[in-house]
Amino acid sequence: MDLAVGDELVSVNGREPSDIIEYQQLIDGESVTLVIRREGDDLARKVTITKTEGQPLGLSIDSAVFDRIRTCDNHCSFCFIYQLPKGMRRSLYVKDDDFRLSFLYGNYTTLTRFTEFDLERVLDEGLSPLYVSIHTTDPELRAEMLRNPRGATSLRWLKELLREGIEVHAQVVVCPGVNDAQHLERTLHDVISLYPELASVALVPVGVSAFSDEATMRSHTLEEARAVVELAEHFQSLTLEILGRVNVFASDEFYLVAGATPPSATKFESLDQAENGIGLVAAFVQSFVEQTPMDKLGTGFFQSVDGAPALGYRAPRGGDGNVQQGDDVLVVTGEYAAPILRQMFDVEGFSDVRILAVENRFFGGNIKVAGLLTGQDLIDALAGVTPETVILVPDVCLSEGRFLDGLDLEDLGRSVTVVPTTGQDLRAALTSVRSQRVSA
């Protein structure tokens, strides 16, 4: 019996795997017996495959989690999912708090649904690194922020994970007037004294859209952002002195709100939290200058186990590879990235390339990153651009060819080139346009 697209995997070597992690472990041997059920066929059949130990089967599984995703039972006031308007893609409203997705894709977990059984599995299978949301180490404040009484005690699991040698990266979503100032300082002191094994701690600003109805949620002022940056840099010096390494970082966005330049790549021992905005600018610039893939720079980009599909858990990325020909080139991006790209282009000999910073009118608030741009905002921003212009759009604002508002590329009403959101790919696209221009 040959395997076919759409076949249902019932068991592997007599066991029903609960997720792609267990599946990968079960197929690792030299002989693998699959029980398969084909659509329209009531009988399940066995398929035995002989291969070299460690060799993958080459099968694609349509989900990373075979049982139910462990959804989040917190009700955080700063949660961006609560700030989404109605009528968007159903998958956007799914909140997960699943340690398996933390291991597979770098999703953050609060550990409020973590159990003794989960700890045993993480340790037995070496599921490392994991990504944990701390937000604050004050038990009462954490329970209040998560709106979950287990928030006051769930960080005990973090201590257990670290004690057993699991690598953990943490984040603190800093909300002005809530867990900043003295609360943030206490959290960082506790990081040194209670959780010194943490690989990194990322301080990221709260995202507040126009759809938020939380009275306590607002954007950081310039002064508040500067205070966070100064506190982070103080604790960088402190952790280096006490722990022998730096493990506290403010996100690039905090530097930009503070009117400062984000740190260069030399300031980071690793770029494991680049997708969380820690050293993302440095990684992008280095990738552009050195023409190096960003995943080769030690970033956490595209972390996954082989065979685990991204669909439903993170936006699949990838450009169309078809770069237009023209004399005028326009790079579309968000408001935060625009000045960084401008400086980089001028230094690297691409001063003729224009940059369009698109205002995010759909979400409003302090949402200024390229990954949250919508189709309608692009349509409005491109209204005055001539048809002959070569328009480069970052793939990070698309998922399966659609923008967050449900529009697709055809809805833009004009031809654009989708480029993978890495420095190397952007440079390659710009170079391709330039070479076509010369040859023409």
Query: Comparing 127-131, 199-203, 323-327, 396-400, which segment has the lowest mean pLDDT?
Result: 323-327
* 115 and 249, same domain (yes or no): yes
* 288 and 205, same domain (yes or no): yes
* 162 and 267, same domain (yes or no): yes
Q: Residue 320: is its pLDDT beyond 70?
A: no
Contacts 24+ apart (CB under 8 A), 148-156: 148/73, 148/74, 148/75, 148/110, 148/112, 150/112, 150/113, 151/74, 151/110, 151/112, 154/110, 154/111, 154/112, 154/114, 155/111
* 282 and 353, same domain (yes or no): no
Q: Collect all residues with Cβ–Cβ distance below 8 Å to 124 and sequence separation of at least 6.
A: none
Cα–Cα distance, 431 to 418 (Å, whole number): 15
* 188 and 289, same domain (yes or no): yes
* 48 and 155, same domain (yes or no): no
Q: Give the CATH number of the domain where residue 290 resides.
A: 3.20.20
Cα–Cα distance, 127 to 166 (Å, whole number): 8
Average pLDDT over residues 133-137: 98
Q: How distant, in Å, are the alpha carbons of 126, 160, 317, 397 from that of 394?
A: 35, 40, 9, 6
Q: Count Cβ atoms within 10 A of the Cβ of residue 89 and give its class: 0-12 exposed, 13-18 middle, 19 or more buried.
A: middle
Among 281, 296, 311, identify where a domain stops. Answer: 296
Cα–Cα distance, 226 to 207 (Å, whole number): 17
Query: Comparing 129-133, 290-294, 336-340, which segment has the lowest mean pLDDT?
Result: 290-294
Domain annotation covers residue 74: no
pLDDT tens-digit readout, 230-287: 999 999 999 999 999 999 999 999 999 999 999 988 787 777 888 888 999 999 999 9
What is the residue range of 31's domain?
Answer: 1-62
The answer to pTM > 0.75 is: yes
pLDDT tens-digit readout, 100-120: 999 988 899 999 999 999 999
* 396 and 336, same domain (yes or no): yes
Domain annotation covers residue 96: yes
Q: Give the CATH number of the domain where residue 429 resides.
A: 3.40.50
Cα–Cα distance, 312 to 224 (Å, whole number): 35
Our count of domains for the chain comes to 3
Domain annotation covers residue 378: yes
Give residue 62's pLDDT band: very low, low, confident or very high (50, 70, 90): confident
Give residue 303's pLDDT band: very low, low, confident or very high (50, 70, 90): very low
* 238 and 365, same domain (yes or no): no
pLDDT at residue 38, as a whole number: 87
* 85 and 145, same domain (yes or no): yes
pLDDT tens-digit readout, 353-364: 999 999 999 999
Nearest to 17 by CA among 57, 74, 75, 71: 57
pLDDT at residue 304, as a whole number: 40
Residues forming beta bridges with residue 338, ordered by sequence position: none
pLDDT tens-digit readout, 264-274: 887 877 778 88
Domain annotation covers residue 322: no
* 139 and 107, same domain (yes or no): yes
Domain annotation covers residue 86: yes
* 292 and 350, same domain (yes or no): no
Give residue 300's pLDDT band: very low, low, confident or very high (50, 70, 90): very low
* 214 and 97, same domain (yes or no): yes
DSSP 3-state assignment of 170? strand
Q: Residue 302: is its pLDDT beyond 50?
A: no
